[in-house]
Amino acid sequence: MYVILVYDLEAERTYKALKLGRRYLTHVQNSVLEGEISEGDLQKLRGELEELLKPGESAILYELSSDTLVNRSVYGEDPTKDQRFL
């Protein structure tokens, strides 16, 4: 399946969510990752997210059965074209 992950952690802890997310997904914007993921990896990601988050922090996981169900448009500069995102 295809998932979109958006997270909101304390500023000095955001790198932890990014590091976790990158093990499974592609970083597409500041606090957003997306990509194809297996059911097994999704279960792992869910567990690791729950473990990572502290009070006041959150993450939203949108699951789609396929990325063909979503039409994706980027406005402004596409951050994935920025070297920092490679």
Is residue 62 near a second copy by the rule CB under 8 A?
A: yes
Please say whether the beta carbons of 14 and 73 come within 8 A: no
65 φ, ψ (degrees, to nearest 5): -70, -25
Which residues neighbour 80 within 8 Å (Cβ) at sequence distance 6 or greater? 26, 27, 28, 29
Is residue 28 near a second copy by the rule CB under 8 A?
A: yes
Q: Decide whether 18 or 61 has the Cβ nearer to a second copy.
A: 61
Is residue 40 near a second copy by the rule CB under 8 A?
A: no
Residues lying near a second copy in the complex (CB under 8 A): 4, 6, 8, 28-32, 46, 49-50, 53-65, 69-79
